[in-house]
Amino acid sequence: MRLKREFYQRNTILVARDLLGKKLVHKEDGIHYIGKIVETEAYINTEDDGAHFNKGLTNRTRIIDESGGHIYIYNIYGMYQLFNIVAEKKGVHGAVLIRAVEPIEGIESMYINRYKKDFSSPSKKEIINLTNGPAKFVMAMDISKEEFYGADLVLNKRLWVENANDLQKDEVVRSKRINIDYAIKGKDYLLRFHIKDNPFVSK
């Protein structure tokens, strides 16, 4: 069963932690791409100088102002796209970056999308590298900003998050976020969450 609005309309940090273990589903041309969320980062409000929206809303970040459950996708380095889920109630800004997923279904199609070659005797390293990073899994699961920016995970018929059992406290690791050295305060916030010992967590 897909997650409901109430799940997303909570404190961003709680949403980031509780998304671990849930399943991101993309239905595309008869293919079901399913990945278990294994790593997230919370970006909490306008005081968080690690967040793209900390200086106010722009055309790029406007969706952050909507209610929790909407999709915020942005480009980096001119060639990659990163997938975020808006949290909090409408007007309260927060978002969760999905950093990595563990492929569950549609792996052959994920492989073709990522490596642009046929799925034939893939190595263990190739399978892990399919989705062990925020841009990697977006490519593998054939998700795009052009198609899904601003879409609603609660209502969308092709892209949603399915519920799963909550993880135990000792299964979750909390640490500093990655690649935000430009942030003065935010770089020290412990707002990255991942499933302990999961091989698909980004390196």
Number of C-beta neighbours around residue 175 at 10 A = 11
User: Is pLDDT above 90 for 10?
Assistant: yes
- CA separation for the pair 28, 113 (Å, rounded): 13
CA 78 – CA 17 distance, rounded (Å): 29
Is residue 127, in this structure, part of any structural domain at all? no
Note the pLDDT tens digit of each residue in 124-149: 999 999 999 999 999 999 999 999 99
pLDDT at 124: 93
Degrees to nearest 5, angle at CA 73 with 149 and 53: 110
**Does position 15 have pLDDT exceeding 80, yes or no?**
yes
pLDDT of residue 196: 98
Domains identified in the chain, total number: 1
Domain of 29: which CATH number? 3.10.300.10
User: Considering the domain boundaries, does residue 117 fall inside one?
Assistant: no
Compute how many other C-beta atoms are within 10 angstroms of the C-beta atom of residue 48: 23
Given CA atoms 102, 106, 108, 114 in this order, what sign does their dihedral have? negative
Distance between CA atoms of residues 77 and 18, nearest Å: 29
Report if residue 126 sits inside a domain.
Answer: no
Q: When comparing pLDDT for 82 and 47, which is higher? A: 82
- Per-residue pLDDT of 142-187, as tens digits, reads 999 999 999 999 999 999 999 999 999 999 999 999 999 889 989 9
Beta bridge partners of 160: 25
Residue 167 lies in a domain: yes
- Which residue in this structure is represented by tokens 């306008």? 46
d(CA 144, CA 10): 26
The pLDDT of residue 79 is 86
- 149 DSSP assignment: T
Instruction: Report how far apart, in Å, the C-alpha atoms of 31 and of each of 7, 175, 193 are.
Output: 27, 35, 29
**Among candidate residues 36, 37, 69, the one with its CA nearest the CA of residue 148:** 69
Domain enclosing residue 178, as ranges: 5-106+144-195
Contact 185, 27 (CB under 8 A): no
46 has a pLDDT exceeding 80: no
Residue 122 lies in a domain: no
∠155-89-48 over CA atoms, to 5°? Answer: 120
Please compute the mean of the pLDDT values over residues 53-62 and round it to a whole number.
87
Instruction: Establish if 121 belongs to a structural domain.
Output: no
This prediction has a pTM of: 0.96
123 lies in a domain? no
Cβ proximity of 6 and 19 under 8 Å: no
What pLDDT does residue 41 have? Answer: 98
Assess if residue 135 is contained within a domain.
no
